[in-house]
Amino acid sequence: MLISFLQSLVACGQQTYDQKLQSLYKKTVPLIQPKAVDKKLNKNEVFILDTRSAKEYSVSHLPNAQFIDYDRFDISQVEDIPKDKEVIVYCSVGYRSEKIGEKLKEAGFQNVSNMYGGIFQWKNEDLNVVNQQGEITDSVHTYNKRWGKWLEEGKGIKIYE
């Protein structure tokens, strides 16, 4: 039944989230699943970089994530991170973070991963995000309404502005 439903979505020109992600990624940066990232969050050896805009980050982000603005990224923003440490990048779906991951690798970072599905997949898997005060929130900036459809209903409060 599920297979026929998915086939009908594709036949109607609609993609599943996995299909959309596969069409976006160049696979130049290794992918890591959200649950694997969650297990690493409290370890001091991993650096989590949020590559979305300041507005998106201010609504919510992964706990302990460092803000790195995609539009204004400069390698000097990460000069305090040792190049041999594990770095995980993410954004809304993983497209912008893959681009930042490429720049990190070009700069000599040896262990860079891109979180599969970004913050949308993170919330779709019922993992917690925090607001500016470090408090758990259900709000997620979904970039715009077109992209917001990938945050499943009931998994978070969609914020567009």
Q: What is the pLDDT of residue 14?
A: 67
List, for residues 44-98, the tens digit of each pLDDT value. Answer: 789 999 999 999 999 999 999 999 999 999 999 999 999 999 999 999 999 999 9
List, for residues 120-146, the tens digit of each pLDDT value. Answer: 999 999 999 999 999 999 999 998 899
Q: What is the pLDDT of residue 50?
A: 98
Q: CA 40 to CA 100: how far, in whole Å?
A: 20
Domains of the chain as residue ranges with CATH: 28-159 (3.40.250.10)
Count of beta carbons in the 10 Å neighbourhood of residue 127: 17
Total-model pTM? 0.89
